Amino acid sequence: MTIASNLGFPRIGPNRELKRALEEHWAGRSSAAELASSARDIRLANWQRQAGLGIEHIPSNDFSLYDHVLDTAVMLGVVPRRFARRTDLDDTQRYFAMARGLADGASSIAAMEMTKWFDTNYHYIVPELDPAQEFRLASSKPVAEFLEAKAAGILTRPVLLGPLSFLLLAKNRVSSQPPIAFLDAVLQVYAELLAELHAAGVPWVQLDEPCLVLDLAPEQRRAYQAAYERLGACGPRVLVASYFGDLGKNLSTAIALPVAALHLDLVRGADQLAPALQRVPARLALSLGVIDGRNVWRADLDAALARLTEATRVVGTDRVMIAPSCSLLHVPVDLASETALDEELRGWLAFATQKLEEVRTLATALRDGPAAVAGELASARAARERRRTSPRTRDPQVRAREHGVTEDMLQRAPYGERRERQARVLELPQLPTTTIGSFPQTAALRRVRADLRAGRVGRAEYDAFLRSEIEQAIRFQEEVGLDVLVHGEFERNDMVEYFGEQLTGFAFTQHGWVQSYGSRCVKPPIIYGDVSRPAAMTVQWAAFAQSLTPKPVKGMLTGPVTMLQWSFVRDDEPRDATCRQLALAIRDETIDLEAAGIRVIQIDEPALREGLPLRAEHWREYLRWAVNAFRLASSSVRDDTQIHTHMCYSAFDDIMDMIAYLDADVLSIETSRSNMELLATFSRVDYQNAVGPGVYDVHSPAVPAAAGIEALLRRALAVLAPDQLWVNPDCGLKTRRWEEVRPAMQAMVAAARAVRESLVSAA
């Protein structure tokens, strides 16, 4: 019988209950026991919701207090020594210290590195290995959560990050030995855990191996075969889950794994079904991900049913599971809460709950025939047709302008000429200091913003409050001695949503929250139609800030690729076409900022590397249109206007030629958690433009010391020339408190001055 299944459910709760519980605990207002109780409530509600929707394989251990990769590291006993030796910390404190760092005076500890989970906007904690690493089963979380669900009358399928993907995502911080060298020791722990799960009564276990969709070396493919020969017979039936793309050259490896079932992503890898059906052995069941787990549009159920029918014709109904393409971690919980969306648009959408309803509908159609769900199939068909024919999705003027983009619109004068002109206009010192853009969003600011939405304050009162905040931020920056200032972005709720609210073709939810990392949640806009900019979006606030100071103030914009990547994007048009429309809107804004007297404009593109396809064979085409979109957005200004861009969590080694082709005057990047290791890439190429390697980890509450920042700057100067180096934090300061920001900025400026003075002395 066909099984309706799920790979993972959002862990934050429908009203961000996890976020609130975490932040209460971190603030010292709740105990570890109270946090654990809140977590149990969320898990139970998730299981009950899925059971009520008719899902038969319900995941457990997909919940995490911070990150599932960090959970796996802790489960395997992979705790970096700087945390392990702090015997004064209990397990919960150590877990959060690993994720967030530890602000503890002179003995503060840097957090573990954080980076993007494949090509999503979810962040994972990078496991740290060293040659002396000892692995052990250090956590019973997967067993405990299975038993927790079982006690509530729900039999679940525990989810584990697979051993190969864990190692391929890890780093060996003190040795060149590849993490996969630890495979035998890791498999021993996994075998022990699978035996415990079997003893607890687990019938199925899901081992996530998303690295199967990457370009794997032959020895890595052989490691997969060896690993699952060992694990496939350890007790529970094993489902290996691949997702985020097609298996490509790894299909033969995956099909041959000695396991009970294999999951295929048929949304991003639709073409892999036919070759998989040709090769699937009689012992192997297929889990088919036909519902998009990463976007919010209703599925084409007719097309999905056709694929599933073909699969069951080949392998039989008892060897097919129906599922979303990947974990539903990447979409909001329930469309039912979105009472403010207009009915037409709402009818085009499906969140996690609705996606599982689609899974159930398809399972019923396969079991009992399409007539059993004729109403549901007809409703989905009608919704897609209404969306296809709706005039609100297309604007002829926008499309004409997009098709009129020419090569000369992407060009500026050579960087060397621009640098000289900008130096004369801006008159900055060596190692100029700045921030990435945002300053703390205080409780008072959030309260006034909520009062505006509720009608308790008027627009004039709200704007006056913002002007006061901006002026205080400018005075603080002048006092601390920053060289290029920012207005603080107090008017912005989110770096994408703020702009989307002022562009055509965007829609917004009330409760469409998605976890980015830990307690950090984002509410991605929905791009449903053609995009244009009816009016200036940021000029008022940038011009006001510039009027307060003789120092240059940056105009702050979000770039077109990041707007695209951090939204739920329409799936009825090519992504590159939507990106060009976004670039033209940002281009208009840069023109208006320059006309208002802004001489430094930052166009943030933190998602450019994130959007890179997972297979190298597709990189060149993506990078061509993505980088050209940035150039289209940034190339309309005069040569003496300085263009900055910011990118975080970006490994540039393999795309450095395209990073250079961006041709931003100043590129700021995240480097503090990785101890400037990213700069090695710049040492291997003749990169001439300026670089601001982050010297302060803004995702940790720890306040950096000037001496530590100075050491990082000296490391940077081993790679970069003094006239190339800028000094800035890793990212915006929106999530930090002023009590942390003030001393951190003082330390950063002091370190920059000390290094600047030493350069003068040496000269």
Active site residues per annotation: 699
Radius of gyration of the chain, Cα coordinates, nearest whole angstrom: 26
* DSSP class per residue in 166-208: HHHH-EETT-SS-GGGGHHHHHHHHHHHHHHHHHTT-SEEEEE
The residue type of 25 is: H
Query: What does the alpha-carbon distance between residue 559 and residue 606 come to, in Å, rounded to a whole number?
Result: 8
- 63 Cβ partners below 8 Å, 6+ apart? 11, 39, 42, 43, 46, 145
Query: What does the alpha-carbon distance between residue 326 and residue 245 come to, in Å, rounded to a whole number?
Result: 10
CB atoms within 10 A of CB 240: 24
Locate 662 and state its tokens.
């961006």
SS3 512: coil
Query: What does the alpha-carbon distance between residue 586 and residue 583 come to, in Å, rounded to a whole number?
Result: 5
Phi-psi region of 157 (alpha: psi -120 to 50; beta: other; left: phi over 0): beta
Query: For residue 168, what are the CA distances in angstroms to 78, 183, 364, 554?
Result: 14, 10, 38, 39
Phi-psi region of 472 (alpha: psi -120 to 50; beta: other; left: phi over 0): alpha
Locate 646 and state its tokens.
């910011």
Which residue shows structure tokens 């008022």? 540
- 434 Cβ partners below 8 Å, 6+ apart? 482, 483, 484, 485, 486, 554, 692, 726, 727, 728
CB atoms within 10 A of CB 657: 11
Query: What does the alpha-carbon distance between residue 123 and residue 516 come to, in Å, rounded to a whole number?
Result: 6
Which residue shows structure tokens 């519980």? 21
